[in-house]
Amino acid sequence: MPERPPPEMVTITIDGREVEVPQGEYIIKVAEDLGTYIPRFCYHPRMTPVGLCRMCLVEVETPRGRLLTTACNTPVAPEMIVDTESAVVQKAQEGILEFLLINHPLDCPVCDKGGECPLQDQTVAYGPGESRFVEEKRHFEKPIPLSDIVLMDRERCILCARCTRFSEEVSGDPLIEFVGRGNQTHVITFPDEPFASYFSGNTVEICPVGALTAKPYRFKARPWDLEAIESVSMVDASGASISIETSQNEVVRINGIDNDATNHGWLSDKDRFIFQAVNSENRLTAPLVRDDAGNLQPTSWGEALDRVADALGSVRGDEVASIGGANNTNEEAFALGKFLRSVVMTPHIDVQVGDALNPDFLVGITPRAEIRDLDRAATILVWAGDLKEEFPTLYLRVRRAVTQMGAKLVVVHPRRTGLDDLAAAKITYRPGEGPEVVRKLAAGADADYAAARELLTAGSVTALIGLTGRAEDPRLAEVVAAYALDLPGAKVLPLARRGNVFGGLDMGLAPTLLPGRVPVTSESGRAELESAWGPLPDAVGRDAAAILAGLAEGEVKVLLLVGADPVRDGRNPDSARAALAAADFVVSFDMFLNDSNQHAAVVLPVDGFAETEGTVTNVEGRVQKAYRSMTWDRLVWGPERDGVVMPDGPGIQELQYTPDGGGVRSTAGRLALHSGRVLYDAGTRNVQSPALAALVPDPAVYLHPRDASALALTDSQVVDVTGEFGAVRLPVRIDATLAEGSAYVPANLESTWMLGVPDVVTIEASSAEEVAE
Amino acid sequence: MSAASVIADWSAPNQERARRLLETYPEERSAVMPLLYLASLEHGYLTSAGMTQVAQLTGLTSAQVQSVASFYTMFKRDHVGRYLISVCTSISCYLLGADDVLAAVETETTARDGTTSVDGAFTVEHVECIGACGGAPAVQVNYELVEGVLPEKATALCKWLRETSPDVVMTDAMQKSFGGVRSFDWGIGEEQGAVAPVPAFGPYGSTGGESAR
Ligand code: SF4
Ligand code: FES
Ligand code: FES
């Protein structure tokens, strides 16, 4: 891959100091790197400068004499002479602040931004001290809701365009814009088109005044009362850096932290507001055990733990199994894995609940991409779930790579995804026909795929590969990866969604892996671990699906559910429920009751996100520290680590893929289910966060217009969707972006989970009488 | 959605104009302003639905289109009378009695500055300099310019509009009957006029050219 040449350096003079700086860099950035802070409002390092607020004026010597110019959008040039604190500059700064405050309401004592407000702070530091303005300020009705989450107090706005630029440039959904002119200008949505963006919370964070506020934090706390700690978002596995802010031992806000490797400071609204679940009234606080009448009753820890110990002691080690652990830190996962393997002596451990991706593929594939590779890629291949729904901050990185770094994008998916508008080539295929698509791409014969093929063979490729939907055969990801690795300069980022699933795999929470990505089947690897841990089971364990099957057959008797809900997240809700019922004993570690642990013998409440401390590993293998913001427990930590842990050598084990896709489940001739995930699904944490619960979409089944007309169905008609595991009644939505021959049912909405995840479904109109009931 | 289906409810000539406008620019979004005039012509003023249609035609969001539309006073986002009377009150016209002209127009049309008459015939507004300072005081009817319009001429102009309710208004014709001193001789007369309170530039599709001829 051609490395970018280092930037040319130029010599300039800033405040009398001669310095070498990279050509083309803006004065404001150069000065900041040299330790000189130039005040600013509209400038944001992650967005294109616009020179709107004029706060960053500096004096620059020109052939026409010394002139005031904006430092945020003036690039340095050879022999430039810049003065950032001359008397003229100071007068300009005072003038700009006096001007900005003409219409700004000075309601700081009741404003949420007061105490952390750039306008307040810079007025103190650079302002004139008093204003000559005695006239009436502008007034607006306040606040107006821009969406269910974001509110706008227009009179506070200083028209810096940070929020509007963010929504256009970064998140690509410009639903807010300036309207009006002169002193009537303000930021607003189009009537009846709310600011329904997955990323709306970022505008609140970057607004340099208190004009934009978010409901979950509005009037909740004052900045000086907040304690902030750095942590990692566990909403998905992208490893977004966050600052968790608490007041009186309660999380009140989450902000983004600019991490160059991951999220650039941006968060999805789910990352930002999911903390409400931590504060939920419905959290479990005491251990629950099942009484003789079959009801869960609160009890003491001693009693609950005795029951668990008795159950574990009453069966053979390999009759015990564990599902889950992706919401835990690496240290917790390590402790759990060590306990299960060396004390209980069971190999039946799986951190993945429903995805069933090959652990060797997830942690072992090489060359493995970092998120940063997106910025250098000539072509990006996304053959995975809709990133906007499943990996929102990673979606922003792909978006940036395409819109600003010049990468070309190829998207392969059964339906429209959030990235399609940016894609130079898009392939829509029926779930089940993925291997066929790979074959055609590789063979290069098919004219339909010529555009995609050309892009994929043109230059260095970074491929993001995962499951496009839950009904997709997990082995397809390996087939795709095998194809992608043959492309020029290819690097693959395998995607699995759950918070710390990669950390769980690294810590050995997989049927095939010991801690440190050592295969269970490696004699030497196991021997080394046994020298520390004592004897270990040597068999390859059962994965989540096989564990449930083992429960039903009586071969597995005791089950640990570690923050897992296999009824909702597995393929077949009924058989998962039956398996749990067949178990001798189920113990669940969870923050909430769910469809699975309602039937457990013992439910142990656990610490949640923000309450535990440890390390978390993201999709790249990057290990980051998550600090604890609240005190709920006492756990002992492993040593702090940072950096990306890359697999060494050619992967830990040959991937068991068949490049021709043989063995991947086929759905030929029937309506294939596309079970794609949505960001705001009816998962427990969403439902327990009031700000997000309101955003869960209504369930529906989406059909291609031709399939709908073949079945004589119309939009909004109510139908019965039936698969091998269950049925659900849903309204039809006609969707021309969906592959013909498939039915899209968003995963895990209020009713759709009851369908399970069959490969194929049949669809029949519900009879009118039944619908009426 | 295809452009045609977005504006399927527009008149055939306006659909055709929209199609031509979209072809004119290498980037569809560049056509946003002329399309806003067309939408105004189609609906009588710039409705929310019209802005959304223009957004769909240009690949912008409705919020972005609204931002453009709200910046310019010539995009009317509320009902406009059949004739929009714009009285210049900038400095030259002001010095030559624009206030009296405006008062005369208000009296004759029964519409106060910034409002529409009850019968829907007139909207009256005062505007900044319309570039006819040499012919002050200047007035526009549906953006067609008349110069040297003293108060009594203004009254007569409005009366004529009400009584004859012309389908097309044209600068040269109105100048002859109701105008006075002109800034200068504008040369060859224009053949096109305005059929609605939308500027009468053929290429921008609003009116004139075709229907006046
Ligand atoms: S609302 Fe805030 S971020 Fe948006 S333009 Fe106004 S001051 Fe800037
Ligand atoms: S920061 Fe430079 S103009 Fe706003
Ligand atoms: S001042 Fe009236 S036209 Fe210029």
Instruction: Express each pLDDT in B2-24 by its tens digit.
Output: 888 999 999 998 898 899 889 98
pLDDT single digits (tens) A46-94 = 999 999 999 999 999 988 999 999 999 999 999 999 999 999 999 999 9
Residues linked to residue A520 through DSSP beta bridges, in sequence order: none
CA distance A676 to chain B (A): 24
- Are the beta carbons of B63 and A193 separated by less than 8 Å? yes
> Do residues B125 and B174 share a domain?
yes
In a domain, B202, yes or no: no
Give me the number of domains chain A comprises. Answer: 5
Q: CA-nearest residue of chain B to A190?
A: B63
- Are the beta carbons of B66 and A181 separated by less than 8 Å? no
CA distance A186 to chain B (A): 10
Out of B29, B51, B71, pick the residue that ends a domain: B71
In a domain, A634, yes or no: no
Given a contact cutoff of 8 angstroms between Cβ atoms, the answer to whether A457 and A490 are in contact is no
Q: CA-nearest residue of chain A to B60?
A: A174
Residues linked to residue A368 through DSSP beta bridges, in sequence order: A492
> Do residues B116 and B138 share a domain?
yes
Q: Which residues line ligand 3 (CB under 6 A)?
A: B 88, 90-93, 129-133, 136, 138
Of the listed ranges A166-170, A307-311, A357-361, the one predicted with least confidence: A357-361
> Do residues A265 and A321 share a domain?
no
Question: Is A683 a residue whose pLDDT tops 50?
Answer: yes
Out of B71, B99, B114, pick the residue that ends a domain: B71
CATH of the domain at A31: 3.10.20.740
Which residue of A174, A181, A192 is in closest CB contact with B64?
A174
Of the listed ranges A373-382, A440-449, A597-606, A706-715, the one predicted with least confidence: A440-449
Question: Is A457 a residue whose pLDDT tops 50?
Answer: yes
CATH of the domain at B143: 3.40.30.10
Which residue of A174, A180, A181 is in closest CB contact with B63?
A174
**Ligand 2 nearest atom to the CA of residue A72, by list position:** 2
- Are the beta carbons of A174 and B61 separated by less than 8 Å? yes
> Do residues B63 and B99 share a domain?
no
Average pLDDT over chain A, rounded to an integer: 90
Percent of chain A exceeding pLDDT 90 equals 76
Residues A257, A261, A264: CA angle, nearest 5 degrees = 40
In a domain, A130, yes or no: no
In a domain, A107, yes or no: no
Which residue of A180, A181, A190 is in closest CB contact with B63?
A190
> Do residues A144 and A266 share a domain?
yes
Q: Which of A193, A203, A421 to mutate to test the interface with B (most CBs of B within 10 A)?
A: A193
Token pair of A45 as six digits: 């390092």
pLDDT average, residue stretch B144-163: 96
Closest to A584 (Cα-Cα) out of A307, A338, A288: A307
Q: What's the A303 CA to ligand 1 centre distance in angstroms?
A: 56
Average pLDDT over chain B, rounded to an integer: 90
In a domain, B193, yes or no: no
In a domain, A619, yes or no: no
> Do residues A487 and A371 share a domain?
yes
d(CA A113, CA A484) in angstroms, rounded, equals 48
In a domain, A728, yes or no: yes
> Do residues B63 and B13 share a domain?
yes
In a domain, B203, yes or no: no
Q: CA-nearest residue of chain B to A176?
A: B63
pLDDT single digits (tens) B65-121 = 999 999 999 999 999 999 999 999 999 999 999 999 999 999 999 999 999 999 999
CATH of the domain at A251: 3.30.70.20
- Are the beta carbons of B63 and A181 separated by less than 8 Å? no
Question: Strand, coil or helix: what is B149?
Answer: coil
Q: CA-nearest residue of chain A to B64?
A: A177
pLDDT average, residue stretch A400-422: 97
**Ligand 3 nearest atom to the CA of residue B135, by list position:** 3
> Do residues B93 and B118 share a domain?
yes
Question: Strand, coil or helix: what is A121?
Answer: helix
Out of A249, A277, A305, pick the residue that ends a domain: A277
What ipTM does the predicted assembly reach?
0.89
> Do residues A88 and A173 share a domain?
no
**Ligand 3 nearest atom to the CA of residue B136, by list position:** 2
Question: Is A711 a residue whose pLDDT tops 80?
Answer: yes
How many A/B residue pairs have CB atoms within 8 Å?
A: 39
Query: Which residues fall within 8 angstroms of residue A105, CB to CB, at 6 or more apart?
Result: A137, A155, A156
Which residue of A180, A181, A193 is in closest CB contact with B62?
A193
In a domain, B205, yes or no: no
In a domain, B44, yes or no: yes
Out of A610, A637, A654, pick the residue that ends a domain: A610
CA distance B61 to chain A (A): 7
Question: Is A545 a residue whose pLDDT tops 80?
Answer: yes
Q: CA-nearest residue of chain B to A175?
A: B63
- Are the beta carbons of B62 and A176 separated by less than 8 Å? no
CATH of the domain at A485: 3.40.228.10
Q: Considering only CB atoms, which chain B residues are within 8 Å of A179?
A: 66-67, 70-71
Which residue of B52, B63, B70 is in closest CB contact with A175?
B63
Q: What's the A207 CA to ligand 1 centre distance in angstroms?
A: 5
From the CA of A53, the nearest ligand is: 2
> Do residues A241 and A305 share a domain?
no
Position B128 confidence tier, pLDDT thresholds 50, 70, 90: very high
CATH of the domain at B30: 1.10.10
In a domain, A180, yes or no: yes
> Do residues B14 and B100 share a domain?
no
Q: Which pLDDT score, from 0 to 100, does residue B203 have?
A: 47
- Are the beta carbons of B52 and A181 separated by less than 8 Å? no
Task: State the CB neighbour count (10 A cutoff) for residue A312.
Answer: 20
pLDDT single digits (tens) A171-193 = 999 999 999 999 899 999 999 99
Q: Which pLDDT score, from 0 to 100, does residue B190 have?
A: 64
Q: Which pLDDT score, from 0 to 100, does residue A645 have?
A: 54
Angle between helix B48-58 and helix B32-43 axes, rounded to 10 deg = 140
Q: Which pLDDT score, from 0 to 100, does residue A655 have?
A: 47
From the CA of B127, the nearest ligand is: 3
In a domain, A639, yes or no: no
Q: How far is CA A85 from CA A14, A175, A365, A690, in A?
A: 10, 39, 54, 48
In a domain, A201, yes or no: yes
Residue ranges making up the domain that contains A718: 671-765
In a domain, B29, yes or no: yes
In a domain, B76, yes or no: no
In a domain, B119, yes or no: yes
> Do residues A313 and A383 share a domain?
no
Position A653 confidence tier, pLDDT thresholds 50, 70, 90: very low
Q: Which pLDDT score, from 0 to 100, does residue A637 have?
A: 29
CATH of the domain at A757: 2.40.40.20
Residue ranges making up the domain that contains B58: 3-71
φ, ψ dihedrals at A483, nearest 5°:
-65, -45
pTM of this structure: 0.91
Torsion angle, CA of A583/A587/A588/A593, rounded to 10 degrees?
80
Closest to A42 (Cα-Cα) out of A92, A100, A3, A88: A100
Given a contact cutoff of 8 angstroms between Cβ atoms, the answer to whether A538 and A360 are in contact is no
* Chain centroid offset of residue B148 CA: 19
Out of A568, A588, A610, pick the residue that ends a domain: A610
d(CA A312, CA A305) in angstroms, rounded, equals 10
Give me the number of domains chain B comprises. Answer: 2
Q: How far is CA A195 from CA A46, A130, A519, in A?
A: 21, 37, 48
In this structure, what DSSP letter does residue A182 have? Answer: G
- Are the beta carbons of B66 and A175 separated by less than 8 Å? no
Q: Considering only CB atoms, which chain B residues are within 8 Å of A191?
A: 48
